[in-house]
Amino acid sequence: MRPEILFPLFADVVTLPGIGSRFAKLIGKLAGPRLVDLLWHKPVSLHNWSRRETVASAPDGEVVTLTLTIVEHTPPHRAGMPYKVRASDETGFIDLVFFRGHKDYLKAALPAGDTRYVSGKIERYDGRPQMPHPERLLDEKAFVAAPVIEPVYGGTEGLPPRTLTRSVACAVEKAPDLPEWQDDAWLRKQGWPGWRSALVKLHTPQTLTDLEPNSPERRRLAFDELLASQLALVLARSRMRNVNGRSLKGDGRLRARALAALHFTLTRSQQEALSEISADMASSQRMLRMLQGDVGAGKTVVAFLAMLTAIECGAQAALMAPTEVLARQHRASLAPLAEAAGVSLALLTGRERGRERDDILQRLQSGSLGILIGTHALISETVVFNDLGLVVVDEQHRFGVHQRLTLSGKGHQPADILVMTATPIPRTLALTAYGDLDMSRLREKPAGRKAIATRAIPLERLDEVVNGIGRAVAQGERSFWVCPLVEENEDLDLTAAEERYDVLKAIFGDRVRLIHGRMKPAEKDEAIEAFRSGVAHILVATTVIEVGVDIPDATIIVIEHAERFGLAQLHQLRGRVGRGEKASTCLLLYQSPLSETARARLDCLRNTEDGFDIAEEDLRLRGAGELLGEKQSGLPEFRLADLSMHGDLVAAASDDARLIVARDPSLETSRGEALRVLLYLFERDDAVRTMRSG
């Protein structure tokens, strides 16, 4: 149950004075339907009404406050004309101008003969001063009571700004004093105020500095939100950890055979990650680990060696990939290693049917099949394992939590889970979105990999690029050509993959192939195989090749309209080359002129190949929500915290949450009770239920 002290904040906004159902609907669309949502609706600017002027002295275009006597009203004499109110002070006359003004309202608000304090910007029309749509119209009593400086909020059509401002102020007024959930020493060290004081200051800024993300009040509130999120994650993780796993401690015999068959030695990062995974698997607690690896860092080999550990213990392993292309590639790359280790391996996608599928399922259920690679077909009810010990999920952000847990639940006991991503994730986002997982990172490339020369070239030089590709083709080189669309779109000035394919095919003939997401699986396979084998030398593609396509002999990638791609996506695409021993090139074709952000993206890509550095820059340029996609990644929606500005607070909140749960796992101390209020305040109710259910 939500604590009673929070009841006022979770009341509907329709309970506020002056808010009927129409305004409540607009506020709900803008900020949310309850008072607590208004608390988190931050000001975006402020009005300073302190500048007092006369009609004669007021400068044009600046906000001033005039003390005026209302002279007369002049309603419009035809449609489309403004309603004007003539007013004056001791220095002259001015017209207050209202387009689509309501006569009855204006007559009541500005009675002839009365004094009004009017604020807004002055303009000149035919040499005469006027103030279109004044921002404040106050009588003496209201003027004395009104603040000199007022916050400005982002609004929505149909909701008067003053109505929104008044509603937020009412919501803040109803906010109770809550028990302090932050550590006293931490608050003193940071110089932060109490929760309610910070909230009041957030909504009563006096300077533009008060609106900045790193003001003390904003950082205090951001940390509250981040601590609630991290505490919820740690409590959920603690419960999952309490689910008994099984100890999978292999003898290393199968792993040794596979290592002997490799044509390279593991990097230091791979060895460290493998040690961390092995320790997790050997523990009686369930493994929940993410393996982050830059493009070409060798995640799949590490995961395969972990799968061999499970098989050494008599268990089975599964590898789930998001696409059939990637699943088939995993089967192709791992089959030789599985054969060397003496382990049976099979592929299951939607394409395996009939007797072939039945045979795979029978071997899986009997236990004679050690490793099953596949797509989401693996979670089908007809797929039954004999003894599933380890689940590996590749490109895990493309799967929901439910899909991962469904597959891991196919074992007699919940299987260990290893999730992999080739998208380097900034530490801030990793803690926020995946704080319930342990992290292993691969930052090194395998020995022998050469740097990729990256150049940005304007589209005006397209002919030079095509000629360069022609020279490369003549020497037997293979090139990707990536376009952002499948087919031509009149609304977007972008070259479509099909159009570019036609152009290049007219020049290079049958040495060109096309691949995109709308093609049938067999057509995709044919195109990739022709490119892999060298029958084709140019593969025109959309971003369907972004993940997992491994063609070591490809040495050139052209990315057309590179300014339209995200930085992390460009890095992923570039990773399709440089996978062999030959020097490789990435050409970023862009449409001039470049925006400042697009230029920063391309400059970053030219200057580094470190995916983790690139991810940090992408976070800075784009922000968290766009970078991962809140819905897709499970990234919480933050109202007060800005992950690109508050990264240090995420790490501090994560550390604090772990310490809290270690010391007070049931939140029973006085601080623990306050932290329960925090969890409910930020609607992390599931964490409280998790804690109570053990």
Query: Cα(539)–Cα(514) distance, rounded to whole angstroms?
Result: 6
- Closest C-alpha to 221, from 640, 543, 581: 640
Portion of the chain with pLDDT greater than 70, in percent: 92
Portion of the chain with pLDDT greater than 90, in percent: 62
Query: Is pLDDT of 284 > 50?
Result: yes
- Closest C-alpha to 372, from 346, 399, 338: 346
Position 33 confidence tier, pLDDT thresholds 50, 70, 90 = very high
Cβ atoms of 171 and 38 closer than 8 Å: yes
Exposed, middle or buried, 179 (CB in 10 Å: 0-12/13-18/19+)? middle
Q: What is the residue-averaged pLDDT of the chain?
A: 88
Cβ atoms of 568 and 538 closer than 8 Å: no
Query: Is pLDDT of 473 > 80?
Result: yes
DSSP label at residue 1: -
The residues, ordered by sequence, that sit 6+ positions from 198 with a Cβ below 8 Å of its Cβ are 192, 216, 217, 218, 220, 221
pLDDT at residue 638, rounded to an integer: 87
Query: Is pLDDT of 140 > 70?
Result: yes
Beta bridge partners of 93: 88
The residues, ordered by sequence, that sit 6+ positions from 344 with a Cβ below 8 Å of its Cβ are 338, 363, 368, 369, 370, 371
**Lowest pLDDT segment from 429-438, 442-451, 490-499:** 490-499
pLDDT at residue 488, rounded to an integer: 58
- Closest C-alpha to 36, from 694, 640, 480, 575: 640
Position 293 confidence tier, pLDDT thresholds 50, 70, 90 = confident
Higher-pLDDT residue of 566, 311: 311
Query: Cα(394)–Cα(418) distance, rounded to whole angstroms?
Result: 9
**3-state per-residue secondary structure call for 281-339:** HHCCECCEEEEEECCCCCHHHHHHHHHHHHHHCCCEEEEECCCHHHHHHHHHHHHHHHH
Cβ atoms of 303 and 278 closer than 8 Å: no
Exposed, middle or buried, 170 (CB in 10 Å: 0-12/13-18/19+)? middle
Query: Cα(35)–Cα(175) distance, rounded to whole angstroms?
Result: 9
pLDDT at residue 141, rounded to an integer: 94
Looking up tokens 């500048």 gives 51
> How many other C-beta atoms lie within 10 A of the C-beta of residue 499?
16
Position 240 confidence tier, pLDDT thresholds 50, 70, 90 = low
> How many other C-beta atoms lie within 10 A of the C-beta of residue 80?
7
pLDDT at residue 626, rounded to an integer: 43
Position 487 confidence tier, pLDDT thresholds 50, 70, 90 = low
State residue 514 phi and psi, 5-degree precision: -125, 140
The residues, ordered by sequence, that sit 6+ positions from 305 with a Cβ below 8 Å of its Cβ are 255, 258, 259, 274
pLDDT at residue 565, rounded to an integer: 86
> How many other C-beta atoms lie within 10 A of the C-beta of residue 157?
6
Q: Is 117 helix (H, G, I), strand (E, B) or coil?
A: strand
Query: Cα(116)–Cα(441) distance, rounded to whole angstroms?
Result: 66
DSSP label at residue 208: G
- Closest C-alpha to 379, from 296, 435, 311, 322: 322
The predicted-structure confidence for 590-631, as pLDDT tens digits, reads as follows 999 998 888 988 999 999 888 888 888 887 776 544 444 433
pLDDT at residue 550, rounded to an integer: 77
Instruction: Please name the helix (run of DSSP H) or strand (run of DSSP E) that holds residue 365, with its range, or none.
Output: helix 354-366
Query: Is pLDDT of 402 > 70?
Result: no
Cβ atoms of 282 and 313 closer than 8 Å: no
Helical axes 216-241 vs 670-681, angle rounded to 10°: 100
CA distances to 655, 657, 658 from 436, in Å: 13, 12, 11
DSSP string, 50-93: --B--TTTPPBTSEEEEEEEEEEEE--SSTTPPEEEEEEETTEE
Question: What number of CA atoms fall less than 13 Å from residue 203's CA on the CB side?
Answer: 20
Q: Can you tell me the mean pLDDT for 474-501? A: 78
Query: Is pLDDT of 11 > 90?
Result: yes
pLDDT at residue 540, rounded to an integer: 94
Query: Is pLDDT of 69 > 90?
Result: yes
Residue type, 411: G
pLDDT at residue 121, rounded to an integer: 94
Query: Cα(237)–Cα(241) distance, rounded to whole angstroms?
Result: 6
The predicted-structure confidence for 165-207, as pLDDT tens digits, reads as follows 999 999 999 999 999 999 999 999 999 999 999 999 999 999 9
pLDDT at residue 350, rounded to an integer: 82
Pairing mode, strands 43-48 and 149-153: antiparallel
pLDDT at residue 634, rounded to an integer: 43
Query: Cα(134)–Cα(42) distance, rounded to whole angstroms?
Result: 24
